[in-house]
Amino acid sequence: MSSYTKPAPNFDLSSPSPAYTLASGDKMPIIAYGTFRSNPGEVGPAVIEALKAGYRHLDLAHMYGNEEEIGKALKQAFDEGIVTREELFITGKLWNSDHDVDIVPQAAAHSLNNLQLDYFDLYLIHFPVCWKHTGLATPGWGASELGDTPLIDTWRAMEDLVEKGVCKNIGVSNYPMMLMHDLVTQAKIQPVCNQIEVHAYYQRESLVNYCLSRNICVTAHTPLGGGVLNSETWDTPIPLKDDIILEIAKKHGKSPAQVLLRSLLQRGIVILPKSVKPHRMAENKDILDFSLTETEMKKIATLDKYVSYKTNPNPLSSFMGGPDAFSEMGTDIFD
């Protein structure tokens, strides 16, 4: 087999608190706590439990609809001395309907106000698509219409946020390979992160290795392949139930989830597991005391199905009912 570029991980897994060193020099903890699909009334207590369990990287987004509750939880954590703001790495995201240049700073300020924070450690463009603005308090979803602000103009507005101290770092989410390269060639401030769907069934080696070769952190927002919920909702196969994963987990005395998370870390990928259950939070962090062998990593590599499971979510159906729905299922922006 011919050789190819495969960058080494940017972090040391033997460290007690491994972190990815971003291009800015800032340290990002490699195991984050995700807040997607957290229901009202449960996300606040879950964030408190995650902080008590040792999580110091929180992944948030305006579209998740839970910023205000998380803001109250953060204030409680600061007031009770559970953690300080300086000990946390907090990621936020700019929603599709807030891409207009004059709206970008307003959207960031709106989210920070909800969260009762002064700055983001990292702020991401959530998806590489601009929709017509629908109001800061009402992020668009449903009958969504394509806007006319180019992605690079939105990025320029993101760069202004760094220069003004609103965000320490900026990046993107759900960017495919060529959009990523297009941004890299035009950016004045380079993206430090691309948060993507990547897991054992969708390994995306070209995109991952491209990003790592440019010191762009890759973060897995669906490290377990969407989990049981995806399987139940869309009847899709999930890595958690794969025989090879089950075999490796049994050998190490670990859960299938722990094997999947560890395999991503060994590829140099930051992970965002999510659970509102304290014992799962602890389990998802307990992956630094074992290693997968080269043979085991090669076995996991054979599981790649080269297909997206359209998770976290793909905005496909959001176009339904509007003039920019171009199929009976909506519009797939990745076609």
Hey, which residues are catalytic here? Answer: 64
Give the separation between CA 280 and CA 310, rounded to whole angstroms. Answer: 24
Give the separation between CA 97 and CA 115, rounded to whole angstroms. Answer: 20
From the list 145, 109, 110, the residue with the least C-alpha distance to 129 is 145
Q: Is the dihedral of CA 52, 226, 264, 63 positive or negative?
A: negative
Give the separation between CA 18 and CA 95, rounded to whole angstroms. Answer: 30
What's 41-87 look like in SS3? CCHHHHHHHHHHCCCCEEECCHHHCCHHHHHHHHHHHHHCCCCCHHH
3-class state of residue 316 by DSSP: helix
- CA angle (93 as vertex; 328, 202 as ends), nearest 5: 55
- CA angle (233 as vertex; 307, 305 as ends), nearest 5: 15
> How many Cβ atoms are within 10 Å of 299's Cβ, its own excluded?
16
From the list 15, 45, 17, 52, the residue with the least C-alpha distance to 31 is 17
> How many Cβ atoms are within 10 Å of 6's Cβ, its own excluded?
12
Q: What Cα–Cα distance (Å) separates residue 79 from each residue in 51, 82, 113, 181, 261?
A: 13, 8, 17, 43, 32
- Residue bearing tokens 């910023």: 67
Beta pairing, strands 89-94 & 122-125: parallel
Element at 172 (helix H, strand E): strand 170-173
Give the separation between CA 229 and CA 301, rounded to whole angstroms. Answer: 24
Longest pairwise C-alpha distance within the chain: 57
